[in-house]
Chains A and B, each alone.
Chain A
Amino acid sequence: SQQGEEDPQALSIQEGENATMNCSYKTSINNLQWYRQNSGRGLVHLILIRSNEREKHSGRLRVTLDTSKKSSSLLITASRAADTASYFCALTGNQFYFGTGTSLTVIP
């Protein structure tokens, strides 16, 4: 399967803590993206990391990519209640392959 697999499937943390989500995949990729989806809403693009990059930052987000291990992690620092959502990694080759997502709950 070319789909990413995120873990954990669900994560619950206190506001202010950091949240780490992981994505593993099986095939080679051109790049990997992380998306957020609030319940019942659309997908919001968070960050793209290319296959030749190892780490990328965007605000409170930090993404790493280890192509030798075929894995990526998304770190959200100093989490807020508004970060409560599902987070998906998407592998991009000729199309997007979404994982099953990590459901993050940030408790105020």
Chain B
Amino acid sequence: EPEVTQTPSHQVTQMGQEVILRCVPISNHLYFYWYRQILGQKVEFLVSFYNNEISEKSEIFDDQFSVERPDGSNFTLKIRSTKLEDSAMYFCASSNQWGPEAFFGQGTRLTVV
């Protein structure tokens, strides 16, 4: 069964460092998303991406964040200068239509120290 895969599963980084979270969406999907979940809190939308550009982004997705689809298979989230409050589980998702059922990856747990 096709699935969204995310790497790494856990990343520890020092405050101020850049991190890149990687996702391989399901191959025929066209819409890609990043969400995050701070421990104990709800899942929050970060950004959606379609046709090689950002479709929508939340207020959380500030200038420190960027997304890229560097090739035909990967979808990355970069945080330029991490802060302690960026510590969270980051989920990638993809869908083959806008809105309905999305498939989520297992998440990358980012710990900023």
B48 at the interface (CB under 8 A from A): yes
Binds A, one of B63-71, B75-83, B97-105: B97-105
What size tier do the contact residues of chain A reach? 20 to 34
Interface SS of chain B: strand
Which residues from chain A contact B35 at a C-beta distance below 8 Å?
Answer: 96, 98
Chain B residues packing against A (C-beta within 8 Å): 33, 35, 41-45, 48, 55-56, 89, 91, 93, 98-107, 109
Q: Once the chains bind, are A88 and B105 in contact (CB under 8 Å)?
A: no
Q: Once the chains bind, are A42 and B107 in contact (CB under 8 Å)?
A: yes
Interface SS of chain A: strand
Pick the 4 closest A-B CB pairs, nearest first: A42-B106, A98-B43, A43-B104, A92-B99
Which residues from chain A contact B102 at a C-beta distance below 8 Å?
Answer: 45, 96
